[in-house]
Structures are given as C-alpha cells and as structure tokens.
Amino acid sequence: MTDTQVNGWTCWRTSAGRILASLRSELQDTSEEIVDSVEANQFLTDVDASLRAGETVVLTVRELLRHWNARTRGTRITRRIERDLTSHGIATFPYFRNVTLDTQIRLSLLVRPSPPREPKASETLRMHTPAAPDQDDEVPQIGLIVVLKC
C-alpha cells in the first residue's frame, strides 16, 4: 500500500455529484460579490483535469477574472480567486496579481512536499571513536570522525 496524498476538497463528491470544494466556496462566500461559484468551480475542475492529463493551461489574467465575473482585481475578488485556486491545488505563474491584465499566465498544480522517509543505511552518518591509545602514543586521539558514503 502506498501513501498517496490527495486534496479531499477536489476529489470527494456529494451524492448529487458536486465536489466539496464548490460547496466550501459557497459557504465561505459571505460577501455580496456577484460570483457564479458553480462556473468558477467548473472551470477549476476542468483545469485540474487538464493539468493532471499533462496539458498546459495558459490564459490572460483578464480571462481568468472573467470566470469569476470580474473585470478588475479588487481586494475581495482577488481573495476569492486565491482561495478557490488554493482549494483546488492550483497556482498561477507568474502570480496573477503581479502582472498586467493582458499578461499570459500559466496554471499549474501546486507541488506538495512528500512525507519524510527513513534514510537508507548508506545515507546515515556513522560515529567513530578510537580505541584506547597505544602505549607509544604521547597524546591520545580524542574526537569524532564523520564518514559519508555516497
């Protein structure tokens, strides 16, 4: 059995077939923004599927904003887009807030760090302490020798 990390918000669905991320976004949206969260979530679900299939998704910032029925990057809509992108495990390169509206951005999946693993015996550090000094040695060797095997 392998340990595979998945984003539960995007892979779990209700009995009606809606992904949890879309329900979460609706609950989190307490502002009075006019946002069709179903359209935005469908867009992000389609992007996620395309990225997992190895396709490249490129669009302008203006086109990205349209999926949230926005024309400009106000504070509320920007936070909403950031929250939705993160909940779907998607990032923009370059970051969509740092470029002009007509700049093309690339969407890609967020890279999650892999869980720590136990090092192999060949990768571990070994301590070496010298045995009792010989009678002929005037000064005993005291110290730690680190041996790295690569």
Q: Could you give the CA distance from residue 34 to residue 42 in angstroms, rounded to a whole number?
A: 16
The pLDDT score that the predictor gives to residue 92 is 96
DSSP string, 11-78: H-B-TTS-BHHHHHHHHH--S-----HHHHHHHHHHHHHHHHTT--EEEEHHHHHHTTT-SS--HHHH
Q: Where are the domains of the chain?
A: 8-109
Rounded to two decimals, what is the model's pTM? Answer: 0.55
Q: In whole angstroms, give the CA distance from residue 83 to residue 9.
A: 12
Contact 66, 34 (CB under 8 A): no
Instruction: State residue 134's pLDDT score.
Output: 55
- Ordered per-residue pLDDT tens for the chain, 150 residues: 556 666 666 777 788 888 777 776 666 554 444 455 788 989 999 999 999 999 999 999 999 999 999 998 988 999 999 999 998 999 999 999 999 999 999 999 987 666 677 767 666 666 655 555 555 555 555 666 666 665
Per-residue confidence (pLDDT) for residue 28, from 0 to 100: 57
